[in-house]
């Protein structure tokens, strides 16, 4: 709610995420991606309201493979703060935050924060903490020579890597990585997302929230495209980045804006979330829009569009 007005930051965001899978949630800044991540961890402002459900297996049933009984799962949207703090955050769901400086304790060194998390989540005992902290730092490409520095002494890229190292320690079944490559050069982007991908296993999954389509193409199994608070396309990564390509005009525009593609920006600007139209929110920017777009399209066959593309989008030649 903003100034007494309800703002629908995320609406009808429906998807599943299986163990062993990486789902990339992509879209322009302000489309609701980070709000969704905050909702899943109970980190929204006090005046925020949530509806629906977000289910993860409870700790004692995570390895059974039985997801039919909702009694064996935790609903992240309705769980109380005690449950989220003691059994979910860091243990069931790890977070690489979009703003790492706000999540690092300012009066403690990176080393001491890593050691604390190693004690709490990994059960590492004191004689082994120093070596374990250095190993955790190396996993996120954080230089050992900076471990005894405080957060305010770090660059944005180093703070991002410190936050990534902290998030990876617990090997949580679900890892939320919210813009984990901010402030990193291309080599470190590739190294970071590769390490996040290595987190994925038989009992672990990754939700990668990013505007970096190259990073998503590198590690994602599926892609969800968000626009104006709604998921407008959900498809396999191979089909999205290769052939037949995105079906939603906005998703196709995002891909064609890449330098290695057509390098053509999506025209116009997204609508304010406080003033969304009744119909398709992308219609004002879309050259395929007509009267049918006055009605809100449902997500059908992975695409929320009245006039989806059906032709083949050629991938760039090597």
The predicted structure's pLDDT at residue 2: 55
253 located within any domain: yes
The predicted structure's pLDDT at residue 63: 46
Domain span at residue 275?
Answer: 231-318
248 located within any domain: yes
270 located within any domain: yes
69 located within any domain: no
Provide CB contacts within 8 A for 188, sequence distance 6+. 141, 157, 161, 181
CA–CA separation, 26 vs 31, rounded Å? 9
* Total of domains in the chain: 1
Intra-chain end-to-end CA distance of the chain, in Å: 48
Phi, psi of 230 (to 5 degrees): -125, 150
Residue 75, helix vs strand vs coil: strand
CA–CA separation, 281 vs 273, rounded Å? 10
Q: What is the pLDDT along the chain (318 residues), one digit of tens a residue?
A: 555 677 888 998 999 999 999 999 999 888 999 999 999 999 999 889 999 999 998 875 544 444 445 568 999 999 999 999 999 999 999 999 988 888 899 999 999 999 999 999 999 999 999 999 999 999 999 999 999 999 999 998 899 999 999 999 988 999 999 999 988 889 989 999 999 999 998 899 999 999 999 999 999 999 999 999 999 999 999 999 999 999 999 999 999 999 999 899 999 999 988 889 999 999 999 999 999 999 999 999 999 999 999 865 555 544
Torsion of CA 160, 164, 165, 168, to 10 degrees: 180
Q: What residues pair up with 2 in beta bridges, in sequence order?
A: 5
CA–CA separation, 153 vs 307, rounded Å? 51
Burial of 141 per CB tally in 10 Å (0-12, 13-18, 19+): middle
The predicted structure's pLDDT at residue 139: 92
Angle in degrees, CA 169, 173, 178, rounded to 5: 70
Strands (E), 81-138: 93-96
Phi, psi of 213 (to 5 degrees): -65, -30
Please, what's the b/e burial string for 206-237 (b: 16 or more CB within 10 A of its CB; e: otherwise)?
Answer: bbbbbbbbbbbbbbbbbbbbbbbbbbbbbbeb
The predicted structure's pLDDT at residue 27: 92
The predicted structure's pLDDT at residue 59: 73
Phi, psi of 134 (to 5 degrees): -70, -35
249 located within any domain: yes
36 located within any domain: no
The predicted structure's pLDDT at residue 318: 46
Is-contact 129 56, C-beta < 8 A? no
316 located within any domain: yes
The predicted structure's pLDDT at residue 223: 98
CA–CA separation, 138 vs 134, rounded Å? 6
209 located within any domain: no
Tokens describing residue 287: 């050259």
Can you give the pTM of this predicted structure? 0.89
The predicted structure's pLDDT at residue 95: 94
The predicted structure's pLDDT at residue 165: 95
CA–CA separation, 211 vs 213, rounded Å? 6
Q: What is the DSSP letter of 201?
A: B
Q: How many helices (H) and strands (E) does the chain have?
A: 9, 8
């Amino acid at each position: 709610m903003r100034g007494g007005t309800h703002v629908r930051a995320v609406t009808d965001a429906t998807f599943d995420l299986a163990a062993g899978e990486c789902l990339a949630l992509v879209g322009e800044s302000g489309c609701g991606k980070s709000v969704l991540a905050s909702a899943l961890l109970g980190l929204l402002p006090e005046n925020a309201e949530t509806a629906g459900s977000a289910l993860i297996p409870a700790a004692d049933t995570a390895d059974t493979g039985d997801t039919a009984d909702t009694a064996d799962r935790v609903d992240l949207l309705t769980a109380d703060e005690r449950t989220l703090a003691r059994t979910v955050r860091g243990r069931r769901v790890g977070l690489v935050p979009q703003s790492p400086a706000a999540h690092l304790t300012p009066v403690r060194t990176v080393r001491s924060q890593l050691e604390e998390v190693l004690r709490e989540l990994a059960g590492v005992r004191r004689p082994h903490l120093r070596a374990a902290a250095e190993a955790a730092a190396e996993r996120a490409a954080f230089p050992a020579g900076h471990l005894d520095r405080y957060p305010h002494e770090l660059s944005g890229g180093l703070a991002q890597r410190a936050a990534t190292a902290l998030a990876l320690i617990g090997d949580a079944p679900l890892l939320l990585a919210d813009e984990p490559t901010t402030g990193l050069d291309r080599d470190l982007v590739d190294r970071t997302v590769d390490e996040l991908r290595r987190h994925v296993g038989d009992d672990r999954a990754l939700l990668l929230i990013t505007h970096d389509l190259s990073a998503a193409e590198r590690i994602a199994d599926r892609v969800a495209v968000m626009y104006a608070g709604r998921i407008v396309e959900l498809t396999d990564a191979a089909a999205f980045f290769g052939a037949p390509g995105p079906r939603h005009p906005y998703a196709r525009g995002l891909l064609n804006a890449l330098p290695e593609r057509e390098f053509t920006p999506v025209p116009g600007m997204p609508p304010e979330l406080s003033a969304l139209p009744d119909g398709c929110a992308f219609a004002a920017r879309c050259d395929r829009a007509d009267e049918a777009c006055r009605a809100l399209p449902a997500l059908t066959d992975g695409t929320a569009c009245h006039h989806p593309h059906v032709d083949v989008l050629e991938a760039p030649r090597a």
